[in-house]
Amino acid sequence: AVTVVSVGGIGRIGRERSEAGVGVCRYGGEEYALHDLGVLVGQGAAKAEGQAQVPLLLVRAGELRAAVAIDQVVGNREIVVKPVGLQIASVPGIYGATITGEGQVVVILDVAPLVRRHLAQPERPAMVEAPQARQVPLVMVVDDSLTMRKVTGRVLERHNLEVVVARDGIEALERLEERVPDLMLLDIEMPRMDGYELVTVMRADDRFRGVPIVMITSRSGEKHRQRAFEIGVQRYLGKPYQELDLMRNVYDLLGIARVRG
């Protein structure tokens, strides 16, 4: 669902122009830059299956003018918007959520912030480093325990890995905006944003989706392990971990050949 706060109208465009993904459209004497909602949220491009033309949301917010391609327009209705909490609300483009009559939770998007974030990305290429460009792999350790951050950081540094730390999911997102690590070691129970929430946000963002994640937690139950794998975690270790076991998984996910005597 999309809030109508910044939507000034609905337009349409030929499928060929939409698939090209570039250019502008003119509506009401104004130029609207062409975007695709699927691309803005890190998913596949809008398909608009069975339609000769692709529907567009005409977004107006301040100086911003954007024509955003979508799959279809279902309708316009009044709904009760519920807050999603500080953790999820901090993600650009999340306006709120609602619950349908069938009990399904539907996220409500504000398209203008999504467009602005997309436009801003080319302006800061140095902040998102390609992992292959680094000589020393970077590992991010996310844990609310100062002791765990220090101990794990020292273990990694002894193995000649670069380390960056974060106290919880919110701080990790801030660090991710500065540098994208080659690997993340992540706790579950943390204030503000826990490990599950952080993984969900990362897997929904093209910039962070490919970062391998090792979850290290005192929650040893099978339901916690299963949930972690379902949302996109690669490895799951218990606390306290064994250094040999940790580094075996780290080396494996980083693709580093081990030399053992």
Domain of residue 206, CATH code: 3.40.50.2300
Q: What is the pLDDT of residue 126?
A: 46
Which of 85, 120, 155 marks a domain boundary? 120
Question: Is 183 found in the same domain as 87?
Answer: no
Please list, residue by residue across 147-180, b when 16 or more beta carbons sit within 10 angstroms of its beta carbon and e when fewer do. Answer: ebbebbbebbeebebbbbbbbbbbbbbebbeeeb
Q: Is residue 130 part of a domain?
A: no
Residues 6 or more apart in contact with residue 93 via CB below 8 angstroms: 40, 41, 109, 110, 111, 113, 114, 117
Question: Is 154 found in the same domain as 101?
Answer: no
Q: What is the pLDDT of residue 241?
A: 87
Residues 6 or more apart in contact with residue 122 via CB below 8 angstroms: none
Report H helices in 53-168. Answer: 85-89, 111-120, 146-158
Instruction: Give pTM, 2 decimals.
Output: 0.49
Question: Is 11 found in the same domain as 115?
Answer: yes
Task: Identify which of 94, 90, 113 has the alpha carbon closest to the alpha carbon of residue 193.
Answer: 90
The answer to whether residues 166 and 191 touch, using CB atoms and an 8 Å cutoff, is no
Q: Is residue 261 part of a domain?
A: no
Q: Is residue 259 part of a domain?
A: no
Q: Is residue 197 part of a domain?
A: yes
Question: Is 143 found in the same domain as 55?
Answer: no
Q: What is the pLDDT of residue 48?
A: 66
Question: Is 158 found in the same domain as 76?
Answer: no
Question: Is 110 found in the same domain as 32?
Answer: yes
Q: Is residue 260 part of a domain?
A: no
Tens of pLDDT along the chain (261 residues) come to 777 777 888 888 876 666 655 578 888 888 988 888 888 877 777 666 767 788 888 988 878 888 888 888 877 777 777 766 655 555 667 777 788 777 777 777 888 888 888 877 654 444 444 445 457 899 999 999 999 999 999 999 999 999 999 999 999 999 999 999 999 999 999 988 899 999 999 998 888 988 999 999 888 788 888 999 999 899 999 988 888 889 988 988 888 544 333
- Read off the CATH number of the domain in which 58 is found: 2.40.50.180
Question: Is 247 found in the same domain as 150?
Answer: yes
Question: Is 229 found in the same domain as 168?
Answer: yes
Which of 93, 120, 147 marks a domain boundary? 120
* Number of domains the chain contains: 2
Question: Is 23 found in the same domain as 85?
Answer: yes
Q: Is residue 149 part of a domain?
A: yes
Q: Is residue 55 part of a domain?
A: yes
| The Cα angle at residue 26 between residues 23 and 31, in degrees rounded to 5 | 70
The CB-based long-range contact list for 208-213 (8 Å cut-off, 24+ gap) reads 208/176, 208/180, 209/42, 211/180, 211/181, 211/182, 211/183, 211/184, 212/182, 212/183, 212/184, 212/253, 212/254, 213/183, 213/184, 213/185, 213/186
Q: What is the pLDDT of residue 60?
A: 85
Which of 120, 151, 170 marks a domain boundary? 120
Question: Is 65 found in the same domain as 94?
Answer: yes
Q: What is the pLDDT of residue 23?
A: 77
Question: Is 219 found in the same domain as 145?
Answer: yes
Residue 33 belongs to domain spanning: 7-120
Question: Is 181 found in the same domain as 146?
Answer: yes
**CA 17, CA 112: separation in Å to the nearest integer?**
22
Q: Is residue 2 part of a domain?
A: no
The identity of residue 197, as a single letter, is: E
Report H helices in the chain. Answer: 15-20, 37-40, 85-89, 111-120, 146-158, 169-178, 195-203, 222-231, 243-254
